[in-house]
Every structure is written in structure tokens, then in C-alpha cells.
């Protein structure tokens, strides 16, 4: 019996590895497709912000060479991952569906809808409506009369990229933690990879969030890790033997 379970687990892991390989290739291809449009997107977004940059943009600091590369690659990665999330959702559902009960399929569909469909829309909303509204509000009510306001273009983009990056890391962490429980990768009622995934996600946020988030870095990391872990614990827990552990008895 143990040999059969081990063989089934190995097959699942091989299929999962194949899925991740396809996702990696898709990410590279999507990045190549987005790459020619990055410069224009940056210019269009800055022009549409409700800020007074002056006739010759004298109130807007320009990008330095290093800052330009950093913002450009950051935005390219953000757009590629956001585009990939809905496609990844379909692949994960197809991969998971054969081994799940109807109630588990409903739960997985709900989590995937939240993490790979609603989150990309939330990121789009932040860039299209949220940050322009924030700048408009700050300009109207937070600018003293007679004071010349200058805007730092790299910091503006770093703020937007940082918020979006937090949402993407939260999505991937939630999916990863949830799937380890759904597929029965458990030890003593907890995911075998739970602490590793949490540590990886926390490290990514702490090390990669822009300097504009220095005061919020640890708070953002804690909220992402805590909420992802809490949502994943609502998953139906399937032990390798096929036994389902009820929600009220999980640790």
C-alpha cells in the first residue's frame, strides 16, 4: 500500500513539474511579447497622472540609467506575471480536477478565481484608478500654497510596482500552500513544505520590495504570510490514504 501511495505521489510530482516547466516557458514568451511596449507604457502612464510636471517636465525628475533599467525590468516582470496568472489558473485546475471531490473542486475554483483573476484586475485597478486618485487627492489637499512640488518618477513607479508585487507574491503563496494540503502532502496535519514556502515568500518580499516600502516592509510581509496561510488552512485536507480531515479538526 505504501509503495502504491509513493508511486502515485511521484506521478503527481512529475506532472506538477511538467506544469511548472510549461508555466516557465510561457512566462518567457509573454515577457518577450510585452518587452517592445514597456517604454511606451511607462510614458503613457506618467502623462496620464494628475500631476503638474510643467511645460517641459521640469517638475519631474528623470530616470537615471540604473533606475531606468530597474523600473523597466520590474514593470516587464509584473506585466508578464499578471498575464500568466489566469493561464496558470486553468492549468492548475486541469491538473487538480481528476483527483478531487466536487466540494474540493468548488473550493479550488473559488481560490483560483480570487488569486488568479480578481488579483490581476485589482492590480490593473491600482495602476489605472488607485494611484492617479491618490496623487489627485494629495495634490488637492496636501500641497501648501506657494510651494513648488517636484515629482520623482522612479519613486512613483517603485510605489506602484511594490504594491502590485505584494499582491502577486500573496497569490502565488496562497496557491502553493493550498495545493500542498489538497494533494495530501502533510506531516502531522501540516503541509510538509509549509514553513519552506512561508520562508521563501517572506524572504522574497523583504529582499525585493523597493526602498519606498522600508517602513512597511515587515508589516506587508507579515500580512501576506498570515493571510495566505489562513486561507490555505480552509482547504480540504486529503491524506495520502485518501482520508479527508474535517475542517474543525485541522491544526
Per-residue pLDDT of the chain (251 residues; tens, 9 = 90+): 455 555 566 666 677 778 889 999 999 999 999 999 998 998 888 888 777 666 555 566 666 677 788 888 999 999 999 999 988 888 888 887 877 778 778 888 888 888 888 899 999 999 999 888 888 887 777 666 665 666 777 788 888 999 999 999 999 999 888 887 777 665 555 556 788 889 999 999 999 998 889 889 999 999 999 999 898 888 776 544 444 444 434 43
Q: Report residue 210: phi and psi, to 5°.
A: -60, 165
Cell of 166: 505584494
The predicted structure's pLDDT at residue 108: 84
Residue 114 C-alpha from the chain's centroid: 11
The predicted structure's pLDDT at residue 243: 47
The predicted structure's pLDDT at residue 67: 79
The predicted structure's pLDDT at residue 62: 64
Q: Which residue in this structure is represented by grid cell 510651494?
A: 147
Closest CA to 210 of 78, 116, 121, 114: 78
Q: Give the relative orientation of helices 217-232 and 153-182 as an angle to the nearest 10 degrees.
A: 20
* pTM, to two decimals: 0.82
Amino acid at each position: 500500500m505504501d509503495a502504491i501511495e509513493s508511486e502515485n505521489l511521484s506521478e503527481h510530482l512529475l506532472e506538477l513539474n511538467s506544469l511548472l516547466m510549461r508555466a516557465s516557458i510561457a512566462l518567457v514568451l509573454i515577457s518577450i511579447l510585452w518587452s517592445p511596449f514597456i517604454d511606451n507604457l511607462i510614458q503613457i502612464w506618467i502623462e496620464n497622472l494628475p500631476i503638474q510636471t510643467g511645460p517641459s517636465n521640469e517638475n519631474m525628475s528623470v530616470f537615471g540609467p540604473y533606475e531606468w533599467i530597474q523600473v523597466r525590468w520590474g514593470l516587464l516582470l509584473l506585466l508578464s506575471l499578471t498575464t500568466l496568472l489566469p493561464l496558470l489558473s486553468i492549468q492548475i485546475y486541469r491538473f487538480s480536477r481528476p483527483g478531487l471531490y466536487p466540494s474540493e473542486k468548488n473550493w479550488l475554483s473559488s481560490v483560483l478565481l480570487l488569486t488568479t483573476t480578481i488579483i490581476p484586475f485589482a492590480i490593473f485597478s491600482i495602476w489605472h484608478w488607485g494611484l492617479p486618485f491618490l496623487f489627485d487627492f494629495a495634490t488637492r489637499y496636501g500641497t501648501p500654497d506657494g510651494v513648488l512640488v517636484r515629482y520623482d518618477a522612479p519613486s512613483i513607479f517603485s510605489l506602484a510596482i511594490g504594491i502590485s508585487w505584494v499582491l502577486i507574491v500573496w497569490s502565488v503563496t496562497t496557491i502553493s500552500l493550498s495545493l500542498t494540503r489538497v494533494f495530501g502532502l502533510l506531516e502531522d496535519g501540516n503541509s510538509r513544505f509549509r514553513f519552506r514556502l512561508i520562508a521563501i515568500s517572506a524572504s522574497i518580499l523583504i529582499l525585493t520590495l523597493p526602498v519606498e516600502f522600508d517602513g512597511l516592509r515587515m508589516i506587508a510581509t507579515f500580512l501576506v504570510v498570515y493571510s495566505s496561510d489562513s486561507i490555505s488552512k480552509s482547504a480540504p485536507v486529503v491524506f495520502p490514504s485518501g482520508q479527508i480531515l474535517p475542517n474543525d479538526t485541522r491544526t
